[in-house]
Copies of this chain bind each other. A is one copy, B any other.
Amino acid sequence: MGKVLEEPLLHDASLTSHVFEEGDVAAKITKVKKGSLSDSVSPSPSPLLVVSPIIPGKYPVLLFFHGFILKPSWYKSLLQHISSHRYIVVAPQFSSLISQSKEVKKAAKVTEWLSNGLNSVLPEKVEPDLFKIAVSGHSRGGKTAFSLALGYGNLSSSTPTTPLKFQALLGIDPVAGSSPSSQSAPKILQYIPRSFDQSVPVAVIGAGLSNQRAYYIFPPFAPNGVNHSEFFNECKPPCYYFLAKDYGHTDILDDKIAAIASLISKSGKGSKDLMRKAVGGIVVAFLEAKLGGQVDFLNDIVKAPSLAPITLDPVIPMSNN
């Protein structure tokens, strides 16, 4: 298997280990209803969960799209972990009744809304830094994140006054359908290496058990050919791949929900808390590198995957050269 040879680190690894723990800022969770704001500001196009640092400051923004039939509030632990490292996370709730093409358009509308609506739902003196925006998602939401970054959400009818540009893209166990021959629209996978016409750096985090059946009965949630592996294959460098070898597709959800999900979704035997910390840490390290200019954490994890609290194997960095 693709084990990365662990190289000596150039600096204190404990600095990197801290991305796998809660950060130093308390995070506040705000539920925003659809269109619930007054006329003076732009109403939200979707219900949202906004997770934000509570101390005054200007913070980068991470959009996070949930998986099929899941809710943003079921990812609270993970999103708080990320936010506590000084990020504002905006997680819209999409209806499971709409097509994925419509979900991508909704996601684009939420992105537009960041410019003129987000400020009004944040704690006092907390501001979004709209020049530092990343987009991410889990499962079907991972594909929505890729689709949006690839331009499938273009809103022809209205041009945003301040077009926002993503600086980073993360797919957490992304899924594009039930098999290569039955991809849901938009069909973003081409089955050609590096076919994504993306310019933004990408991290793909896969779950090693997500292509397996639960109890030999339930079909895998991230089947071979439409999962993390093919998403990574179609990314242009710079891109990164991390496989949480011993965990399943829904093991990043909050504990109670993860326990219920594990009845139908193959789940890892290890602590789900460690899985969430590992994924949260990778997200933070990647955002620090691509939005904050601090590359050491990401480089350290690539060089020494054992810094993570779970087995990451393989870890693959692919650079532009």
Contacts and interface: CB of A to CB of B under 8 A. Distances in A.
A316 B194 contact: yes
Contacts of A316: 193-194
B2 A233 contact: no
Number of copies: 2
Interface string A84-113: 000000000000000000000000000000
A191 interface: yes
A229 B224 contact: no
B191 A229 contact: yes
Contacts of A232: 193, 233
A195 interface: yes
A44 interface: no
Interface string A191-226: 111110100000000101001000000000001111
Given A179-B179, A180-B179, A193 B2 contact: yes
A230 interface: yes
Given A181-B223, A225-B179, A197 B230 contact: no
Interface of A: 1-2, 179-181, 189, 191-195, 197, 206, 208, 211, 223-227, 229-230, 232-233, 236, 241, 243, 314, 316, 321
Given A192-B206, A193-B229, A225-B225, 17 more contacts: A1-B192, A1-B197, A180-B224, A181-B224, A191-B211, A191-B224, A191-B225, A191-B230, A192-B229, A192-B243, A193-B241, A193-B314, A194-B314, A194-B316, A195-B314, A230-B230, A230-B233
